[in-house]
Amino acid sequence: MDNALYIGLSRQMTLQRHLDIVANNIANADTSGFKTEEPIFRTEPKSPARTADGPKPIKFVIDAGLARDFSQGALRATNSTLDLAIDGAGFFRIQTPGGERYTRDGHFRLDETGRIVTQSGQPVLDAGGAEVIIDPKKGALEIARDGSMSQGIEQVGRLGVVVFDTLSDLEKSGDNQFRNTSNQQPQPAPASLLRQGMLEASNVNPVLQVTDMMNVTRAYESLARMMESTQELSRRTVERLGRVE
Amino acid sequence: MQALRTAATGMSAQQLNVEVISNNIANMNTVGFKRQRAEFQDLLYQTLERAGAQSSDQGTVVPTGLQVGAGVKAGSIYRIVEQGAMTQTGNKLDMAIQGRGYLQVLLPTSEIAYTRAGNLSLNDQGQLVTSEGYQIQPSIVIPPEATDISISKSGQVQIKQAGATAPSIVGNLELATFVNEGGLEAIGDNLYLESGSSGAPNLSVPGVDGTGVLLQGYTEASNVDAVSEVTALIVAQRAYEMNSKVITAADQMLSTANQVKS
């Protein structure tokens, strides 16, 4: 009898987590380079509390992982020189105190020494893994589709864009950055297209998120009702069995 | 429940977004104004199960980790230093900067501020001043007997005096450029101050070393585009609403949990 309650509880816990993830998607609907996330659930077979008359094994639900949708977000024009969007697969390389990080948020700026840095001031790396220093006196910075940077007729370097074979090895570390959790080495992106003066919007689909959210709240309610009636059942059972004729 | 706090961060981020947009719209007709944009970043993630962690003695690994994000924060509000349109005014003391660079202004606190608003005037001593009456540096004095003023593209200020056939030079304007213009600190009145992230000013003759040139008789209009600001406002408002829906949903779930009879 208690099995139904525990199964209901396991689903309610995952539903709460589902809502947390939906909330994070919606909160980041306007964050450049953000990638939508969705929880993956799986069944967890367990033997029931009472097996005397051999009922089938019961199945709990458990959160197994997180699917990240790495599809392309919409490109929107900002007309800022150091706003870059990657059209296609690939990540920019960022140097942080905790090691190399990867991002698709191409909103960069120059710091006081002329380095290209992210919003939080961490240097962006070039194809060779070195910091990029720009001298604004040389003229307007032009960044070509392949990441090569030029000022006037002078070539001043090439921004690094890398791809990963297995995207699920990446883990979000906040600040729009991803961390590599495996030993695989990122490879230079063969056919990435950089667009200067544009940013990649988040790929959150608001309609899907709101429907997800409605599903979650309704499922939660129906589980509460299921658990309530299960409890009602056991209450009545105790009442009837306890009655002295 | 995490969702409540996450949605709250989303709402405050969109509120900030609306504030930035409304400031842009309010300054649509401000000379030399540069529009601003709020950029957001995701907050820290709580890692419940790490991708690549071992899931058994047989060496199987968790293919996808489990992370729950904590919401969003404002990453930066940055100025888009795109050139504004040139508006012809016909005023001899108006000048627009075409290209990079800022005019230097001496504040009453004897600090130097920088501006791109070139709608200048003369004060009672004939000094070139901004609309607030702050002196332009290097100081330029136009004598009262001057009949005509001309400012060249490279910043040379010449006057014509009655009786004289050749014009005489009264001074040279300089432009200051910065490595990171977006890092200048705005203090209102179209003025900016040097900051730690802008780098030190680089003074040069207009038109040299990649600086812009001066155009007499023009002012630089604000670079705010009304249509894109209004669309951004709609997006921000809808995003705000969606976040408040999440709060309602989370609240509904909590109230369902509270109503379960024991």
For chain B positions 109-138, those within 8 Å of chain A (CB to CB) are none
For chain A positions 168-227, those within 8 Å of chain B (CB to CB) are 168-176, 181-182, 206, 209-210, 213-214, 216-217, 220-221, 224, 227
* Strand ranges across the sheet with A187-188: A170-172, A177-180, A99-103, A91-96, A161-163, A187-188
Length of chain A counted residue by residue? 245
pLDDT of residue A3: 80
Q: Do B179 and A210 touch (CB under 8 A)?
A: no
Rounded CA gap, B159 and B152, in Å? 11
pLDDT of residue A139: 80
Average pLDDT over residues A5-31: 92
Lowest-confidence pick of A17-21, A44-48, A51-55, A232-236? A51-55
Length of chain B counted residue by residue? 262
For chain B positions 8-37, those within 8 Å of chain A (CB to CB) are 9-10, 13-14, 17, 37
CB A85, CB A106: distance < 8 Å: yes
Strand B146-151 with B112-115, pairing = unpaired
From the CA atom positions of chain B, what is the Rg in Å? Answer: 27
Q: Do A119 and B75 touch (CB under 8 A)?
A: yes
pLDDT band at A106 (very low <50, low <70, confident <90, very high): very high
Those residues with Cβ within 8 angstroms of residue B95's Cβ, 6 or more apart along the chain or in another chain: B118, B120, B151, B173, B214, B215, B216, B217, B218, B219
Residue A47 confidence (pLDDT) above 90: no
> Which is higher by pLDDT, B53 or A198?
A198
pLDDT of residue B52: 66
| Closest CA–CA distance from residue A13 to any residue of chain B (Å) | 11
Q: Which ipTM score applies to this complex?
A: 0.79
Residue A231 confidence (pLDDT) above 80: yes
Q: Which two tokens stand for residue B137?
A: 């540096």
Average model confidence (pLDDT) across chain A: 88
Question: E strands, chain A, where?
Answer: 37-46, 58-68, 75-77, 84-87, 91-96, 99-103, 109-110, 116-117, 141-143, 148-151, 154-158, 161-163, 170-172, 177-180, 187-188, 193-196, 198-200
Those residues with Cβ within 8 angstroms of residue A84's Cβ, 6 or more apart along the chain or in another chain: A92, A106, A108, A143, A159, A194, A195, A196, A198, A199
Q: Which two tokens stand for residue A24?
A: 């994070």
pLDDT of residue A23: 94
SS3 (DSSP) at B66: strand
Omega cis (within 30) before A123: no
Rounded CA gap, A98 and A180, in Å? 11
pLDDT of residue B163: 81
Q: Do B41 and A20 touch (CB under 8 A)?
A: no
Q: Do A112 and B199 touch (CB under 8 A)?
A: yes
Could you say which of B80, B249, B252 has the minimum Cβ distance to residue A80?
Answer: B80
A-chain residues near B47 (CB < 8 A) = 171
Q: Do A109 and B182 touch (CB under 8 A)?
A: yes
Partner A contacted by B70 (CB < 8 A): yes
Q: Which two tokens stand for residue B230?
A: 């209004």
CB B137, CB B128: distance < 8 Å: no
Burial of A7 (0-12, 13-18, 19+ CB in 10 A): buried
B-chain residues near A169 (CB < 8 A) = 51-52
CB A8, CB A230: distance < 8 Å: yes
Residue A55 confidence (pLDDT) above 70: no
CB A100, CB B186: distance < 8 Å: no
Partner A contacted by B241 (CB < 8 A): no
Q: Write down the residue that tokens 């719209």 correspond to.
A: B25
CB B173, CB B206: distance < 8 Å: yes
Work out how many CB contacts closer than 8 A connect A with B. 224
Query: What percentage of residues in chain A have a pLDDT greater than 70?
Result: 95
| Closest CA–CA distance from residue A32 to any residue of chain B (Å) | 7
From the CA atom positions of chain A, what is the Rg in Å? Answer: 26
Find which of B68, B178, B237, B244 to mutate to test the A interface (most A CBs within 10 Å of its CB): B68
Q: Do A27 and B78 touch (CB under 8 A)?
A: no
CB A116, CB A126: distance < 8 Å: no
| Closest CA–CA distance from residue A99 to any residue of chain B (Å) | 17
Could you say which of A140, A206, A217 has the minimum Cβ distance to residue B253?
Answer: A217
Q: Which two tokens stand for residue B31?
A: 């000379």
CB B103, CB B136: distance < 8 Å: yes
Task: Tell me the residue type at B83.
Answer: Q
Q: Which two tokens stand for residue A232?
A: 């009602």
Rounded CA gap, A182 and B77, in Å? 34
Q: How many CB atoms lie within 10 A of CB A53?
A: 5
Find which of B246, B255, B261 to mutate to test the A interface (most A CBs within 10 Å of its CB): B246
DSSP string, A76-127: EE---TTBEEEESS-EEEEEETTEEEEES--B-EE-TTSBEE-TTSPBBBBT
pLDDT of residue B239: 93
pLDDT of residue A50: 63
Burial of A231 (0-12, 13-18, 19+ CB in 10 A): middle
Average pLDDT, consecutive stretches of 10 residues, N- to C-terminus, chain B (262 residues): 91 95 94 92 85 71 79 89 90 91 93 92 91 90 88 91 86 90 88 89 88 92 92 93 93 88 66
Rounded CA gap, A173 and A157, in Å? 28
Q: Which two tokens stand for residue B249?
A: 């949903």
Q: Do A37 and B14 touch (CB under 8 A)?
A: no
pLDDT of residue B230: 94
CB A9, CB A27: distance < 8 Å: no
Q: Which two tokens stand for residue B231?
A: 């669309």
pLDDT of residue A245: 64
Residue B159 CA from chain centroid, whole number: 35
pLDDT of residue B61: 67
